[in-house]
Amino acid sequence: MPPRFSIPALTRAVLCVALVFAPALWAAPVATAPHLTVQFVVPPAQIYPGQNFTAGLYFKLDRGWHIYWVNAGDSGEPPSVKWTLPPGVTAGPLQFPAPKRLPLGPLMDFGYDNEVLFPIAIHVAPDFKPSGSGATLAAKVSWLVCREVCIPGKAQLSVERAALAQPPAVDNVNAEDAQLLQRFKDRLPQPLPAGGSAKFRATANGFELSVETGREEKSGAFFPFDQSVLANAAPQAVKPIRNGVSLVLAKDENLHIAPNELNGVLVFGDGRAYEIHARPGALAPATVAGSDSLPRIVLLAFVGGLILNLMPCVFPVLFIKGLSLVQSSGEERRKLRLHGVVYTLGILVSFWVVVGALMTLRGAGHNLGWGFQFQSPVFVALIAMLLFFLGLSLAGQFEIGLSLTSAGSGLAAKSGYTGSFFTGVLAVVVATPCTAPFMGAAIGYALSNSPLVSFAVFTALAFGLAAPYLLLTLNPAWTRLLPRPGAWMEILKQAVSIPIFATVIWLVWVFTQTAGVSALVNLLAAFLLLAIAGWILGRWPAKAGSTIAAALVLALAIALPVLAAQRSGTQPVLAASPSRAQWEAFTPELVAKYRSEGRPVFVDFTASWCLSCQVNERVVLNRDDVQNRLKASGVALLRADWTRHDETIAQTLTSLGRDGVPTYALYPADPQAPPVLLPEVLTTDAVFHALDEVKPQTAHAGTGF
């Protein structure tokens, strides 16, 4: 007896077969899949010989989900299509619009969220012969859609169009498809404008890409066509140039040979995108986006140098110079003026050495900024010992002028021209942990420009620092206002040691932050040895034997903290400063994450060795009213601790047009909006005003990560 099928069983079987072959049987121009809808967009209503037109694949994605660009980044794959077209009809490759950076934890994907349309060039051959009254254009589309998880998908799409043997008198179009294609027509990367150029140079850590578009650009993100060339998640430091932009790009850790060409897409904040094919070559000098002219920047540097005299870093040295000015007030005018010139020369030479070292190291691929030497615990220890030894001499333990006259801090304490020169050197050394108002923009401008511009800006900064003392010496009549030398001078000299020792205490704290608590014992032991050396020099002054003995003790004192600091290279750095606010450690990915969630981000770029940073934190950021306002504002709080060198922080500072700390940046919730920079010397009004300018977004689009 043949098997019997019940009606329900037969129905189920037919349905199963229909579902399996549904794409082939029921192909349509639109398909709905998990987390997206895909549509085949074909504007022409007819297909005819010799026709060329643009079609497209349009994806509409659920919020938080994305698909991928041609180079998907650290994970994923781009959409693909296989065609079934009438004879004589051909389709070009998918054209990919400008992508977005889509962070996923420590990784970075390149792709699209919300919606995207991929244009496709369609060509109908001149000898096209319709096989009937209609033509079917079919596309089998595959994709990968991702959020925290990735889901592969595919769909069979098709469009029916009338087929003609010859061109019609009037082209008819599908209005809905034409409007959709028109809305996305400007999102494809374009060739560089006429006269534009793209060049790159290899650095120790990657590449510097310089692109000239004919206008000054304020932002930019580069997306490489080739995988395994760049570190996709690394921040891209932006340095505007006169007719374009320069980007600092980190290379992929597996890349060992620089490519002959750097290919990709450069996307600007206003949506413009250019296809880039950069060859090695000389780069255009950088400038500050929206920057003022060089004369105005030089003026800002000079004013910043003037204000630097009032910063707590430099003030102790001014005590020393003020004491020498009182001592020399009775000298003839020529000698007094010469002291001022030599002091100024000491400052100038020191600034030139600093800028020369910075530019040399940056040229070798090291992204360093103002105050970089204080990131070295060895340097901090040496400066602390130098000032401690100088303080012992000022306090009266010994007279440096009677022995060791050519060593260390004695140079700054001598009463002749050598003393004036090295007091200028000492002023620059202790000034580097401080950033006065106007200095941040000036230094950022200097270090992102040509060597000639850099030296001009730093020279103006040096003249600003030297100006007060230089003016006093050039106008001897003003020195008549100073008291006459007398017995009180010894008391003043000893009093000057107090701010010197206070500076030493701060340096000891900085050393502990960078080298660890265990290395602190060695530094304190070095201070004891310095005190012994000072006692030897004071007990047996101007004796060859005592000088040699003191020199040996000094050598041992220097060795102790230096060796301890070198051993501490792997020890963790202590927190820059305690704070009641809930600060998180800065990463560019965290900034992008919060902004994608509609939250503004406040970033405190700080360091333990930055005295201005510590003052701002204690005087402003830790105030109860500021704390309460920060907590109530909905702003995410991130702290970028630059106590030890961090390449990511250095590149971010460069992208902000800054090369040192303190720097305070408030990123609006809109990812396309540029960050707002607060002044180096914070006030509560400045913080409140900045917070008033940015508000969390209650509804926003984002990657969902």
Residue 95 has a pLDDT of 96
Local structure of residue 230 (DSSP, 8 states) = B
Residue 704: pLDDT band with limits 50, 70, 90? very low
Rounded to an integer, the average pLDDT of 601-624 is: 84
Rounded to an integer, the average pLDDT of 505-511 is: 82
562: pLDDT strictly greater than 90:
no
Q: Which has the closest alpha carbon to 369: 640, 609, 648, 650?
A: 650
637: pLDDT strictly greater than 60:
yes
Residue 646 has a pLDDT of 78
Rounded to an integer, the average pLDDT of 154-176 is: 92
701: pLDDT strictly greater than 50:
no
Is there a contact between 44 and 176 (Cβ–Cβ < 8 Å)?
A: no
Task: Provide the token pair at 703.
Answer: 């990657």
Residue 23 has a pLDDT of 40
Say what percent of the chain tops pLDDT 70.
Answer: 77
Residue 581 has a pLDDT of 55
Question: Distance between CA atoms of 568 and 329, rounded to whole angstroms?
Answer: 48
- Domain 197-280 CATH (choose: 3.40.50, 2.60.120, 1.20.120, 2.60.40): 2.60.40
Q: What is the DSSP string of 304-341?
A: HHHHHTTSTTTHHHHHHHHHHHHHTTTS-HHHHHHHHH
Residue 573: pLDDT band with limits 50, 70, 90? very low
- Domain 584-693 CATH (choose: 3.40.50.970, 3.30.590.10, 3.40.50.720, 3.40.30.10): 3.40.30.10
Higher pLDDT, 69 or 630: 69
Which residues does 375 contact at the CB level (< 8 Å), separation at least 6? Answer: 514, 607, 609, 642, 643, 644, 645
Question: Distance between CA atoms of 484 and 473, rounded to whole angstroms?
Answer: 16
Summarize pLDDT for 207-252 with one digit per residue, the tens: 989 999 988 787 889 999 998 899 998 888 887 787 888 888 989 8
Residue 572 has a pLDDT of 42
Q: Average pLDDT over the chain, rounded to whole?
A: 79
Rounded to an integer, the average pLDDT of 37-58 is: 96
Residue 85: pLDDT band with limits 50, 70, 90? very high
Residue 449 has a pLDDT of 64
Question: Distance between CA atoms of 317 and 340, rounded to whole angstroms?
Answer: 15
Higher pLDDT, 459 or 375: 459
Rounded to an integer, the average pLDDT of 571-586 is: 59
Helix boundaries (H) for 29-102: none
- Domain 29-183 CATH (choose: 3.40.50.720, 1.25.40.20, 3.30.70.2740, 2.60.40.1250): 2.60.40.1250
Rounded to an integer, the average pLDDT of 321-347 is: 72
574: pLDDT strictly greater than 50:
no
Number of helical (H) and strand (E) elements in the chain, helices listed first: 19, 24
Residue with tokens 């008819």: 172
Residue 460 has a pLDDT of 87
Angle of CA points 215, 220, 224, to nearest 5°: 120
461: pLDDT strictly greater than 80:
yes
Q: What stretch of H or E contains 66?
A: strand 66-73
Burial of 52 (0-12, 13-18, 19+ CB in 10 A): exposed
The amino acid that residue 256 corresponds to is H
Higher pLDDT, 664 or 439: 664
Residue 427 has a pLDDT of 74
Residue 576: pLDDT band with limits 50, 70, 90? very low
Specify the range with the lowest mean pLDDT, choosing from 118-122, 178-182, 256-260. 256-260
Question: Distance between CA atoms of 250 and 236, rounded to whole angstroms?
Answer: 8
Summarize pLDDT for 665-678 with one digit per residue, the tens: 998 887 767 788 88
Question: Distance between CA atoms of 97 and 93, rounded to whole angstroms?
Answer: 13
User: For the chain, where do the domains classified as CATH 3.40.30.10 start and end?
Assistant: 584-693
Task: Provide the token pair at 576.
Answer: 């820059």
Which residues does 560 contact at the CB level (< 8 Å), separation at least 6? Answer: 522, 523, 525, 526, 529
